[in-house]
């Protein structure tokens, strides 16, 4: 597969981001199958996409909100999704920032290894592009968290990403693997867990539920096995409100390390 062509300005910006962002080590790379797969991780704010862009083994593309690729749509999306929970006294600043980042966001997200994700009829283009890339040997990275609380490690997952495996099976006759990823910025580590395989014979409603549940549970289990640390949550809250990986009330039967 040919390397994606990118602008010189983007390559310069990418180098600066790499220079000043955390350098992640990889644990559990042996859990990644030899075949293309879908990697499902916790978002961890900007750390998830940045970490996966630089450190995911092998060719890969990351699902990204389509609004971030169109400068006229960036402001409304960025403020709503990133900064609307900020204290009222400083929201004016973030509203201004959301209007200013449009051109930069468009440059970055159209040049990076990303796939635009939409929540309307354009979603079919997301699936088509993803399937084409999977068939070309690339893995797909997805951060499906929503604002619904699940536990102190991950938020509830949107489940429609599982349909990617259904469409892929129809095109290729192959059942995709889903690989859990726990990204821990405070430990500067990306942990890959054991994969599960899509079951094409099961009703898609059951598979959506099963895959999401297994991914959330396996990501949680990985996090609980690590030394005590602050988890970077999906919502953009104050750092003083970041939860710890222990204690865990939702899964009291889990054993924790450290």
Are 38 and 196 a contacting pair, CB within 8 Å? Answer: no
Give the domain ranges of the chain: 36-184+204-241
- Give the mean pLDDT of 174-191: 97
User: What pLDDT digit, counting tens, does each position of 184-202 carry?
Assistant: 999 999 999 999 999 999 9
Q: What is this structure's pTM?
A: 0.88
CA–CA gap between residue 65 and residue 146 (Å, rounded) = 13
Which CA distances in Å does 107 have to 101, 102, 142, 238? Answer: 10, 9, 21, 28
Are 217 and 179 a contacting pair, CB within 8 Å? Answer: no
CA–CA gap between residue 156 and residue 158 (Å, rounded) = 7
Cis-peptide into 247, omega within 30 deg: yes
Query: Residue 255: what pLDDT?
Result: 44
CA angle 60, 16, 80 (to 5 degrees): 70
CA–CA gap between residue 43 and residue 40 (Å, rounded) = 9
């Amino acid at each position: 597969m040919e390397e994606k062509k990118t602008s010189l300005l983007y390559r310069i910006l990418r180098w600066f981001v790499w220079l000043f962002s955390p350098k992640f080590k990889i644990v559990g790379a042996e859990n990644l199958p030899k075949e293309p797969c879908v990697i499902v991780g916790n978002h961890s704010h900007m750390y998830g996409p940045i970490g996966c862009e630089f450190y995911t083994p092998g060719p890969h593309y990351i699902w990204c909100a389509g609004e971030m690729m169109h400068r006229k749509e960036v402001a409304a999306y960025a403020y709503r999704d990133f900064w609307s929970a900020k204290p009222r006294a400083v929201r004016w600043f973030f509203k201004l920032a959301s209007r200013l980042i449009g051109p930069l966001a468009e440059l970055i997200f159209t040049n990076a290894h990303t796939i635009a994700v939409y929540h309307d009829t354009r979603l079919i283009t997301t699936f088509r592009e993803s399937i084409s890339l999977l068939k070309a040997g690339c893995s797909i990275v997805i951060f499906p968290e929503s604002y619904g609380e699940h536990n102190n490690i991950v938020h509830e997952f949107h489940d429609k990403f599982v349909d990617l495996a259904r469409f892929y099976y129809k095109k290729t006759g192959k059942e995709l693997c889903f690989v859990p990823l726990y990204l821990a910025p405070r430990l500067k580590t990306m942990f890959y867990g054991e994969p599960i395989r899509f079951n094409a014979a099961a009703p898609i409603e059951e598979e959506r539920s099963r895959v999401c549940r297994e991914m959330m549970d396996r990501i949680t289990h990985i996090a609980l096995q690590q030394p005590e640390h602050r988890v970077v949550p999906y919502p953009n809250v104050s750092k003083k409100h970041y939860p710890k990986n222990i204690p865990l009330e939702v899964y009291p039967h889990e054993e924790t390390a450290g």
